[in-house]
Chain A
Amino acid sequence: MRVRPFLIVPIALALSGCTGWQSALDPHGPHADALSRLFWIFLAILGTIWTATILMLLLALRRRRAPDADPLMTRPGTERRMTIVVSCAVALTVMTVMSLAVVSYGAQRVLFAHRDGPLTLLVTGQQFWWKVQYEDASPARTFTTANEIHIPVGEKVLIKLEAGDVIHSFWVPSLNGKMDAIPGRQNEIEIQADRPGIYRGQCAEFCGWQHAHMGLIIVAESRQDFERWRDGQIAAARAPDDPEAQKGMEVFMTKPCIMCHEIRGTSAGGKVAPDLTHVGSRQYIGAGTLPTTRGNIAAWIIDPQRIKPGVHMPLIQLAPEEIQPLAIYLESLK
Chain B
Amino acid sequence: MSDLAAGKDELRDTDLSDAELSARLAKTWGTARGIIGALSTVDHKIIGRRYIFTAIFFLFLGGLAAIVMRLQLARPENQLIGPDLYNQIFTMHGTTMMFLFGVPIGEAFAVYLVPLMVGTRNIAFPRLNAYSYYVYLAGGLMVWFAFMLNTGPDAGWFSYVPLSGPENAPGKRVDFWAQMITFTEVSGLAVAVQVIVTVFKQRAPGMTLDRIPLFVWAELINAFIIVFSLPAVVTASAMLMMDRLVGTHFFNPAEGGDALLYQHLFWFFGHPEVYIIFIPATGWVSAIVVTFSRRQAFGYLPLVLSMISVGFLSFGLWVHHMFTTGLPQLGASFFTASSMLIAIPNGIQIFCWIATLWDGRPVFRTPLLFVIGFFFIFVLGGLSGIMLASVPLDTQVHDTYFVVAHFHYVLIGGNVFPLLGAVYYWFPKFTGRMMSERLGKWNFWLAFVGFNLAFFPMHITGLMGMPRRVYTYQPEMGWSTYNLLSTIGALVLFVSFVVFLYNMIASARRGPLAGDNPWDAGTLEWATASPPPPQNFNRIPFVINREPLWAEREKLPVATGLAVEKRELVVTTISEARADLRESSPEPSIWPLLAAIATTIAFVGSIFTPWAVVWGGLLVAFTLVGWFWPKNNKEDEA
Contacts and interface: CB of A to CB of B under 8 A. Distances in A.
A179 to B, nearest CB: 6
Nearest to B294: A71
A188 interface: yes
B243 interface: no
Contacts of B516: none
Which size bracket describes the interface of A in this complex? 35 or more
A177 B399 CA distance: 11
A324 to B, nearest CB: 26
A236 interface: no
Contacts of B350: 53
A292 interface: no
A97 B386 contact: yes
A60 B156 CA distance: 42
Contacts of A137: none
B459 A212 contact: no
B347 A90 contact: yes
B296 A72 contact: yes
Nearest to B375: A57
Interface centre among B296, B302, B355 (most CB of A within 10 A): B355
Nearest to B359: A78
Contact of B386 (A42, A53, A68): A42
Interface in B13-49: none
A20 B30 CA distance: 66
Contacts of A46: 383-384, 386-387
A74 interface: yes
B228 interface: no
A42 B387 contact: yes
Nearest to A94: B344
A22 B463 CA distance: 9
Contacts of B294: 68, 71
A105 B336 contact: yes
Contact of A86 (B299, B389, B399): B299
Contacts of B343: 93, 97
A22, A203, A212 — most chain B CB neighbours (10 Å): A212
B464 interface: yes
A71 B296 contact: yes
Interface in A86-110: 86, 89-90, 93-94, 97-98, 100-101, 104-105, 107-109
A63 to B, nearest CB: 7
A163 to B, nearest CB: 9
Interface stretch (A145-153, A164-172, A224-232, A257-265): A164-172
Contacts of A203: 467
B442 interface: no
A25 B400 CA distance: 14
B172 interface: no
Given A17-B464, A179-B326, A35 B392 contact: yes
Contacts of B253: 183-185
B580 to A, nearest CB: 29
Contact of B341 (A18, A90, A97, A310): A97
Nearest to B456: A10
Nearest to B395: A177
Interface string A16-40: 0110101111000000101100110
Contacts of A35: 392-393, 395-396
A89 B306 CA distance: 15
A132 B390 CA distance: 30
Contact of B392 (A6, A53, A82, A107): A107
B365 interface: no
Q: Give the 4 A-B residue pairs with the shortest CB-CB distance, closest first.
A: A184-B253, A177-B395, A22-B465, A187-B326
